[in-house]
């Protein structure tokens, strides 16, 4: 359904800043020219065909380039951790907008150009942005739903579906680019005894504390997943066997320093870990299985230990 005039009247677009810099490049090659009225007819129709943020903004850029000398755009939405750049970055002119729909912030958009954009063109740009806000807001709702479906509700770590998707992607990238990839599987020690002695609320608090510790200990490019029960899986991008062992040992030591307060009693935690480094001839399931075998070796050897998988 096309946004109507009432939808537009509830939208608040605020120009955050307009920066004019010295022109350093050639003029943007203009596509076939169309009128504003023609673009305002075609753009909403294209926007209805997708719930993907990158496609929606791609449609916007393609249509806007019929009217404006744009070389690209950037967009980010911090709440859903979405960042996008389309076209080539230029050291010239950019016009930035804080986008709102019915009082809700829906991100920051910057239009990039190799030349100064006149005021009349900015007016046209803002009309096109107005058409984009309602579809963009729906795409953000869709992205939030997808993100929620891939998260463990207790700890906020990725769930098993997210692990499957992430591990398939990372092993393919590792194989294609000949980059190291390691997996660490972590199991909290004596977790059943913790639940039986202090109750499931204490167990939940311990899981949350460990999940937070894992996120703090890892890089932004690494991923944390709850594998089930008291087990977590860490996917370490561009990390070989020696580095993975260092990471695992650092995490094991950090878990050992955690102190869970249950009533007036302090409960110490510990974890066992197994490391495996990806071999190009194996599947992602085999990689995970080797990490699991190493983990159970750590359990058999006395717990609160890290073990490395054999090839």
DSSP structure string for 154-191: TT-SB-HHHHHHHHHHHHHHHHHHT--EEEEEEEETTH
For range 272-298, the mean pLDDT: 97
Question: Given a cut of 70, is residue 11 above it in pLDDT?
Answer: no
Specify the fold of 160-308: Alpha-Beta Plaits (3.30.70)
What percent of the chain is predicted at pLDDT more than 90?
Answer: 74
In this prediction, residue 224 carries a pLDDT of: 96
For range 155-166, the mean pLDDT: 93
Question: Given a cut of 60, is residue 204 above it in pLDDT?
Answer: yes
CATH annotation of 5-149: 3.30.450.40
For range 133-139, the mean pLDDT: 96
Mean pLDDT of the chain: 88
For range 65-81, the mean pLDDT: 91
pTM of the model: 0.65
Contact 14, 101 (CB under 8 A): no
Distance CA 154, CA 207 (A): 8
Question: Given a cut of 70, is residue 21 above it in pLDDT?
Answer: no
| In the chain, where the domains are located | 5-149, 160-308
3-state class (DSSP) for residue 52: coil
């Amino acid at each position: 359904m096309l946004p109507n005039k009432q939808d537009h009247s509830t939208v608040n677009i605020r120009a955050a800043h307009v920066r004019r810099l010295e022109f350093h490049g050639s003029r943007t090659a203009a596509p076939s020219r169309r009128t504003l009225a023609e673009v305002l007819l075609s753009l909403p129709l294209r926007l209805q065909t997708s719930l993907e943020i990158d496609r929606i903004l791609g449609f916007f850029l393609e249509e806007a380039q019929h009217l404006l000398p744009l070389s690209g755009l950037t967009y980010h939405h911090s709440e859903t951790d979405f960042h996008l750049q389309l076209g080539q970055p230029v050291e010239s002119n950019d016009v930035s907008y804080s986008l709102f729909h019915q009082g809700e912030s829906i991100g920051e958009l910057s239009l990039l150009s190799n030349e100064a954009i006149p005021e009349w063109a900015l007016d046209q740009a803002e009309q096109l942005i107005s058409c984009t806000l309602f579809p963009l807001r729906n795409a953000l709702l869709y992205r939030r739903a997808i993100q929620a479906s891939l998260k463990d509700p207790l700890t906020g770590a990725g769930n098993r579906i997210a692990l499957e998707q992430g591990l398939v992607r990372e092993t393919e990238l590792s194989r294609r680019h000949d980059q190291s990839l390691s997996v660490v599987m972590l199991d909290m020690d004596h977790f059943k005894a913790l639940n039986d002695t202090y109750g499931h609320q204490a167990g939940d608090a311990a899981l949350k504390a460990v999940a937070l510790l894992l996120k703090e200990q890892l890089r932004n490019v690494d991923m944390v997943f709850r594998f089930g029960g008291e087990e977590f899986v860490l996917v370490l991008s561009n990390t070989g066997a020696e580095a993975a062992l260092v990471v695992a040992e650092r995490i094991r030591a950090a878990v050992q320093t955690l102190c869970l307060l249950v009533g007036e009693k302090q409960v110490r935690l510990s974890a066992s870990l197994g490391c495996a480094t990806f071999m190009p001839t194996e599947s992602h399931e085999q990689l995970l299985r080797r990490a699991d075998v190493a983990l159970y070796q750590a359990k058999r050897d006395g717990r609160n230990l890290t073990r490395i998988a054999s090839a």
